[in-house]
A and B are shown apart, each in its own frame.
Chain A
């Protein structure tokens, strides 16, 4: 922490290096000092408490291939992780690094935003906690200040009644998603009693979508509902267009990924 403080202005911490090294290779990032966190064992852990999963910032993506805890949350993380890039990248890249990089198409950022994670940020002065809603400030921008690092992420568990879904589309397997949706539903008597919906790849950062959640509660858990809410989602986002997809395309794609993720969550919730 002292090193990080001392090099706050011109240094960068390096975690898995899967984004930073590429940026350095293109000369887009030019830190004078790199502080390597790979030897800091205290940052590489997963702890389970009765209500939470606490994930050390240096936990590699690949750690989540098998459920890290019982119940819907462990299953959800293992559903999400194969969508992150390619296996060698998952073996090296870290959960915390991904949150700090805050790519608009980061799967873990959508997880953190949708499930109301709490980020533990550390510095030489001590730790502070920031809720996900305040952590993501924009594309590639977070609440982590110079001299600070992300230490751990606290993810609230979902109890047994929840079903979860995740769906993303990219042109090739492993590319940055053009749109993704993460969902969690509780279904009682065929009707949706609680919902979580998050989107990624279609805004400046991963976002929890309260309007979509509100639109779902009380509705029957049917394909019609999911299509309708997917359509609503497409009207609530204003994605940018680039060479991989126009804004119009990405809006329609949003409807698809939302509907598919909802269908998956409903299947699981009613299984």
Chain B
């Protein structure tokens, strides 16, 4: 029985469920110092002076640094971006000349206890000449740092992409539909806040940072470069990670500061962020405005689409560079033909917390925009919302479909997809006709109920490569070392299943070691739904190489031709004989000659594109303007499923987060730029009581032809179309097509719309 396709329980859960998890806050070293960050209390201003004299008198305080104390540290560089010209907008580890958002690190206090550090941090006085905060990304850009960088405006970049003949499309159009849509400012909020423990070994001048996540290898290189150390003098080590969602694990000022301090102060340095800090200092996301003009044929076919969008990037451009806007621009067309398309994406800075990627970056937003447009076209042309999509979906005959544009340095080519087929399957799965009839009946009885849908294309498996090393121990245990990372998504289980499937052995024998820069020289980490595709493929390749190595060794040990040995289910057997050796025996017998080991590298120039549909059923309470999600279904084709339980978990969790952005979560600011949602009493994440049961229809109808497993990533599709589907359903419930123009749909907004 294949190990792939089975809901094997998570290997990683035993430690977590028995209280043996080791998260950043669980780690301690003797004589450690505790770091506390002094954060800007104002949104924008000239930093005149930082006075730490009172703070230095607090018992237990060992050091206090401001920007002047770390003049040798450069700005934090971009991890991902092909766009140049954004360098001046990178953030320093501690504010220099100006503060640009509430929460910006201005100074750091190191003390013998976290209490002393926090007490002292409060006494650090920041003398700041305030400047009016710039909070509207849609307004004309203003000066970034007026006095020190005159002429530099708060628009770091404008991205342009296009395909097809847009003028011809508009000349041919029977109708032109125009929309302006906005997605609010929200982000991934992992249960575990950020944290780090940096330890310096003076004998070798090596710094090790525990508490790494997401991209340990990249961050190791970046920290080494910033500290002026050779790359092998820095190690990053990942323990358990309590959620990532794109925001955790990017390189932030605090990570660099702990490493720098451990080395300079000669003591381990621990930093654990509190929730209030997290909500105003870790990456925000989303917050885009779309202005769309669409050229429509009489039958509702979208001939051409002209889009301008603005991303509120917050105060600085962080490690992601232009990633969110780049993905928004390239993937906005989604599953539809759209022969002509032109987009301009403005990256604008404001005096808010800097932004980065959050699960389905650029797709949650652009799917909301595109699917709102599809609903608007249906209303304009007078066809139903399913039919407008059928008329625009890319037909199977045109797959692989080359959009004629790039994103993240790769061409957008949809590798496989049966888009009409999935829509038909979802209709059958939910019993669309009966469902629509029951909704109509309830509406006739006076209820405000409605259905909404969103169709989306995801992307996954970003290259360029992944490499793993595999070794069989003399006891038969198989150890795989990978530079991938775990943010809690279950990679140990899924990777073990892929290896077990290839080798025909039990998953219990397989151990996956990840996130340790000291054990493998390269690795890409965990982001962009890449691990199953890239690392999984590398494991399959390594497993096949291991079988070849076992056959080579077996042939030598049995002293037979290579052709007369065969591999099956963990054994090398001599043809037509009962002579056989297990992997353990082979590894043992060959120990002195190097043992039984293999390496696998998978390279890919293109991403693979899963696709899906969200269907929401909602009820509006007209008395409270509350939106109750009665039922939620996600159809998702991911090519091939490694572990159905893990896939379902990914989808359900992502839907919950998507509902947050659609109905609840919003980082509000007042006119002075003070953040108003800095606790869980004001930043409203949906709880189990707000999230309905989520039904899934996971399909394997379009395996990816561009990796050896046929897999596509499953991590993000559960969130991608939530905003779109909920907006569509709320419109439907209100009987007002086009009513919802922004997210989140709060009772307050709905009250105004319904008035």
* B-chain residues with CB within 8 Å of residue A253 when the two chains form the complex: 623-625, 747
Q: Mark A131-173, 1 if CB is under 8 A from B, else 0.
A: 0000000000000000000000000000000000000010111
Give chain B interface residues in 361-377, CB to chain A under 8 Å: none
Determine whether the beta carbon of A27 is less than 8 Å from that of B122. Answer: yes
* B-chain residues with CB within 8 Å of residue A26 when the two chains form the complex: 276, 679
Q: Which of B122, B666, B686 contacts A172 (CB 8 A)?
A: B686
Give chain B interface residues in 663-720, CB to chain A under 8 Å: 664, 666, 668, 676-677, 679, 681-682, 684, 686-687, 689-690
Q: Which 9 A-B pairs have the closest CB atoms?
A: A256-B623, A173-B689, A243-B668, A249-B751, A169-B624, A249-B748, A245-B748, A243-B676, A246-B748
* B-chain residues with CB within 8 Å of residue A2 when the two chains form the complex: none
Determine whether the beta carbon of A248 is less than 8 Å from that of B751. Answer: yes
Residue pairs across A and B with Cβ atoms less than 8 A apart, 24 shown, are A26-B276, A26-B679, A27-B122, A171-B664, A171-B746, A172-B664, A172-B689, A172-B690, A173-B689, A173-B690, A174-B689, A175-B681, A176-B681, A178-B747, A242-B676, A243-B682, A244-B682, A244-B746, A244-B748, A245-B746, A245-B748, A246-B748, A259-B623, A260-B623
Q: Is B175 located at the chain interface by the 8 A CB criterion?
A: no
Q: Is B626 located at the chain interface by the 8 A CB criterion?
A: yes
Determine whether the beta carbon of B747 is less than 8 Å from that of A171. Answer: yes
* A-chain residues with CB within 8 Å of residue B276 when the two chains form the complex: 26
Known contacts A169-B624, A171-B684: A245-B747 contact under CB 8 Å? yes
Q: Which of B624, B625, B677 contacts A243 (CB 8 A)?
A: B677
* A-chain residues with CB within 8 Å of residue B666 when the two chains form the complex: 243
| A interface residues, how many (CB within 8 angstroms) | 23
Q: Which of A27, A172, A178, A259 contacts B687 (CB 8 A)?
A: A172
Give chain A interface residues in 237-269, CB to chain B under 8 Å: 242-246, 248-249, 252-253, 255-256, 259-260
Determine whether the beta carbon of B664 is less than 8 Å from that of A256. Answer: no
| B interface residues, how many (CB within 8 angstroms) | 24
Determine whether the beta carbon of B684 is less than 8 Å from that of A175. Answer: yes
* A-chain residues with CB within 8 Å of residue B747 when the two chains form the complex: 171, 178, 245, 249, 253
A171 to B668, CA, bound (A): 16
A172 to B690, CA, bound (A): 7
What's the least CB distance linking A249 to chain B, in Å?
A: 5
What's the least CB distance linking A147 to chain B, in Å?
A: 28
Nearest A-chain residue to B685, judged by Cβ: A172
Nearest B-chain residue to A256, judged by Cβ: B623
A259 to B623, CA, bound (A): 10
Determine whether the beta carbon of B625 is less than 8 Å from that of A249. Answer: yes
What's the least CB distance linking A190 to chain B, in Å?
A: 24
What's the least CB distance linking B748 to chain A, in Å?
A: 5
A115 to B687, CA, bound (A): 33
Q: Mark B595-636, 1 if CB is under 8 A from A, else 0.
A: 000000000000000000000000000011110000000000
* A-chain residues with CB within 8 Å of residue B676 when the two chains form the complex: 242-243
Give chain B interface residues in 735-755, CB to chain A under 8 Å: 746-748, 751-752
Give chain A interface residues in 6-55, CB to chain B under 8 Å: 26-27
* A-chain residues with CB within 8 Å of residue B626 when the two chains form the complex: 169, 171
* A-chain residues with CB within 8 Å of residue B664 when the two chains form the complex: 171-172
A100 to B58, CA, bound (A): 35
- In the complex, besides A173-B689, A249-B747, 10 extra interface pairs with C-beta distance below 8 angstroms are A169-B624, A172-B684, A172-B686, A243-B682, A244-B746, A244-B748, A245-B748, A249-B625, A249-B748, A253-B623
Give chain B interface residues in 274-314, CB to chain A under 8 Å: 276
What's the least CB distance linking B51 to chain A, in Å?
A: 20
Determine whether the beta carbon of A173 is less than 8 Å from that of B668. Answer: no
What's the least CB distance linking B676 to chain A, in Å?
A: 5
What's the least CB distance linking A136 to chain B, in Å?
A: 22
A253 to B747, CA, bound (A): 10
* B-chain residues with CB within 8 Å of residue A259 when the two chains form the complex: 623
A173 to B623, CA, bound (A): 17
A176 to B747, CA, bound (A): 15
Nearest B-chain residue to A27, judged by Cβ: B122
What's the least CB distance linking B433 to chain A, in Å?
A: 34
A172 to B681, CA, bound (A): 10
What's the least CB distance linking B677 to chain A, in Å?
A: 7
